[in-house]
Amino acid sequence: MAAETGTPTTLTLKSNDDELFSVAESAAILSVTIRNMVEDGCAGGVIPLDNVDGKTLASVITYMNGISAIPADEEKKKSYRDKFLSDKDFETLADMVLAANYLNMSCLMDAVSAKIAQVMEKKSVGWVRRKFGIENDYTPEEEAAVKEEHKWTFEGVETDDDN
């Protein structure tokens, strides 16, 4: 168990590419994975995070420090999250989803998911495929069949005039 003294405890996290990071325990325990390790007394030395690379871990630690510095004000936290994610590209966001999942940080997970989802709003199928580098594995016949599955039954329907 971490020493229960008045001074803030610092943890050392190690990324999968062997970068070391110091972070205040109070910020790091936003990650349930890290919190569990601290509670189980496994956080004495260096905490290896096998699934997070240095670049992503640096970013996540920036987030941990930023969000834990904000007192219990959901609005302010939300605007911090928005600002934090505003300049991230898709690759970084995808890395963050994996990291947030591995570290079990639901608030970051939800925010990043929402951010990725947001870019899909009101966009064409082709745009989503291009932006995310997804190959269209439908044959033209299959794609037509999927479209047909949920036909736009209302298009062109006339209103009735018997009232």
Partner 1 sequence: MLGGKLNRGDANRRSRPYCFRRCKLSSSTNIESLPDDLLFQILLEVPAQDIQKGARLVCKKWHRIICNRRFVDEHLHHSTPGIIVDIRRHSSPAVFAATGRGRVEISKFNFVFRDRAPASCNGLIVEDNYISNPATNKRFDLPAYSPKLGRGICYAIAYAEVSKQYKVVLMHCSKYNEPLEILKCAILTAGVDKSWRHLHMKNLSIGAPVTTDGFVHWPRSDDTHVFTLNVETEIFTEAPVPKVCVQRPKYYMSTGKSLSLLVLCGGYSFEVWEMKSETGEWTKLFKIDLEPLKGRFGHLVHKFCLTHIRLIGWLNYPEVLALRISASQLCVIYNVRTQEIDYFEVYYLSGYHNYGVHRNSLVWLSGC
Residue by residue, what is the 3-state secondary structure of the chain? CCCCCCCCCEEEEECCCCCEEEEEHHHHCCCHHHHHHHHCCCCCCEEECCCCCHHHHHHHHHHHHHHHCCCCCHHHHHHHHHHHHHCCCHHHHHHHHHHHHHHCCHHHHHHHHHHHHHHHCCCCHHHHHHHHCCCCCCCHHHHHHHHHHCCCCCCCCCCCCCC
Select from 9, 26, 51, 68 the one that contacts partner 1 (CB under 8 A).
51
Interaction between residue 145 and partner 1 (CB under 8 A): no
Interaction between residue 154 and partner 1 (CB under 8 A): yes
Interaction between residue 50 and partner 1 (CB under 8 A): yes
Select from 8, 45, 71, 140 the one that contacts partner 1 (CB under 8 A).
45
Interaction between residue 9 and partner 1 (CB under 8 A): no
Interaction between residue 32 and partner 1 (CB under 8 A): yes
Note the residues at the interface with partner 1 (CB under 8 A).
Answer: 16, 32-33, 36-37, 40, 42, 45-48, 50-53, 56, 78, 82, 90-91, 94-95, 97-98, 101-102, 104, 106, 109, 113-114, 116-118, 120-125, 128-129, 132-138, 143, 146-147, 150-155, 159-161, 163
